Structure formats: structure tokens, C-alpha cells
Amino acid sequence: MSFKTKNFLITGGAGYIGSHVANLLLDKGHKVTIIDNLITGNKKLVPKRAKLYVNDIADKKEVSKILMEQKFDIIMHFAGLISVEESLKKPKKYMTFNYEKAKKFIKICLNYNLNKIIFSSSASVYGNINKIASEKNELKPINPYAKSKKKFENFLISLSKNKKIKFVILRYFNVAGADANKRCGSTNSSSKNLIKLVCEAALNRKKKIILNGDNYKTPDGSPIRDFIHVTDLAEMHYISSKFIFDNKKSQIFNCGYGKGTSVKKVISSMEKIIKRKIPIVIGPRRKNDIVFSVSNVSKFNKFFKWKPKNNSITKILINALAWEKFLKKF
């Protein structure tokens, strides 16, 4: 079977990142089946060319039915809960969804010899290291969300050592932006994602932006993040899926641009786009907030000689703003 005709099983494909990856895979000529319980996902984000099963990934009976219906070549696992703030209030819920259910799902898949997986992990597993993070860094997660990601990573690594699976773990930094053709984007109205909040302020849906502190030990006093455009991240998934078929060894890669942008810089960049000031109010710092989170992406670049297409905070903001405008019609 050539790579042009791979059959992908995507969990969480009705979500923000999963839907972008699903669209890219379909654009490349692959087959896509999605399992999503739609708790946080949105059915409208699912491409019409993909097949959707509204199921829990830990439902052995239903998942087994799907796996018996057709032969899949690879799993892309996005399903899970993503709010750090919620995880602090409900740590057991996050361990259940992000680790226990995911673990059960993989075990079901192994019964059908489906043993290749791309896993969407997070830079949060590094913790508050305040330096550029490479894949060799010790993992020091500081919240239940990050701990659940680390635990599932360790599960995959243990299976790989026993030669039961082959994986690529992708550790995302700050994912932002939207599909330029407005096929998909973030639909989470309660999201506290900085880019979404800045877009809402730019559209006068919010009167002001509250900065959680401006006295961090950074050049402008605000936290620094490594923002990556979601379509570039989708491309990294596609490249990783090709790699997993061509190479024997599992790998872990950071997903970012390797450059930091401060919160204040994001706001000022949007102000240049809309040609007016956005009101800012300084609030208290959040407990355990990470000051500096920037990726070392030299490993991915060395393996694949990859160059991102949207490596610009301005482009990220323009696409995100266009999506937010479109969202009322969506």
C-alpha cells in the first residue's frame, strides 16, 4: 500500500486541532475516520469527507465494532480534556479522560493489530523550566493536565520498549490561528486562550483584556510563549505519520517555532492590524503560571528539514480574527 492511500483513525477529530489535521489528510488523498464523543468537539468541524462515530474511546464494544468494519493503518490520538484551570479543580477527571480512557483505547486497538500512533502531547510536561525546552529536558509537570499527558507518554514508551507499538509523540507549544479557508477553527466560546481573547477584543465583543500580572522577569513584564499556527502543526502531524511507516524507532518531537512572543507583543501586534488600541487591565498573577515557554525545534528540523509556512504572529492573528468574524455564521 502506498502512503497515498493510508487509512487514518482519528480520536477527537471534531476538535480544534484534530479537525485541521483531518482536513489536511483528506486533502492529501487519505481516508479518515473520526471517533469523538462531542463533549468538547463540534460536529460542524468534522469534514464531510470523513466518517464520524459519536462514541467514547473507552467503549470496548463500540470501538471494536469500528475496528472490525475496516482495517486502519494508524491512529492519531487527540481526544482528551485540555483546560489547565479545570484540571486544578478536577484532577481525577483529567486522569480518567486523558490517561485511563486513552490507555483502554490503545489496548482495544492492539487487539486488532493497530499499533502505530501519533499522540498529541503538550509542552506543559516540561513544567516551569524558564528556558528553551528540548526533548532531552527532564519532565516536571506542575498541574493535573500536564501530569495526565506525561503519564500517557510513559505508557506509550513502555509499550514501545516491549515492541508492541510504534509512536511519535508531539509536544505542542501554544497552538493558535485557523484554517485560511475557514473550514475549521476554535469554537470554544468559554476558552481563555490569549489569541481568542485578543480577537474578541479586536471585534469589540470584549471591552478589555485582563493581563494576569505584568511583573514577570521578562523584557516587558509579561509571560513569553512560543505560538505555532495550527496549519503548520497539522503539517507536522502529516510528516510524522509518513515517518512512522518508514522508520523503526519511535520518536518524540517538540512542535513550535523556537521563538518567543510576549503577551504584550501579541496585543500590540493585533493593535497594528486593527489600527486602534485595545484596553488592558492588569490583574493578579495566576498560581503556577509558566513565565517562559519556548521550544527547541532543532530535532524536528534536523530529521525533516522542515520549514513552516505561517511563522508569523501577524499571520496567526489575521487568520484567527477572520475565523472569529466568520464564527457567527458557522
Q: H helices of 166-229, where?
A: 194-202
* Helix, coil or strand: residue 8: strand
Residues designated as active site = 145
Distance CA 263, CA 291 (A): 10
Instruction: Return the closest-CA partner of residue 253 out of 75, 120, 158, 130.
Output: 120
Taking alpha carbons only, the member of 247, 305, 244 closest to residue 118 is 244
Find the farthest-apart pair of alpha carbons in the chain and give their distance in angstroms, rounded: 58
Q: Are 86 and 47 in contact (CB under 8 A)?
A: no
Amino acid, single-letter form, for residue 320: A
Beta carbons within 10 angstroms of residue 249's beta carbon = 8
Q: CA–CA separation, 26 vs 15, rounded Å?
A: 16
* DSSP annotation of 276: S
Ordered strands of the 31-35 beta sheet: 51-53, 31-35, 7-11, 74-77, 116-122, 166-172, 251-255
13: how many CB neighbours lie within 10 A of its CB?
Answer: 31
The residue type found at 179 is: D
- Nearest Cα residue to 322 out of 235, 190, 199: 199
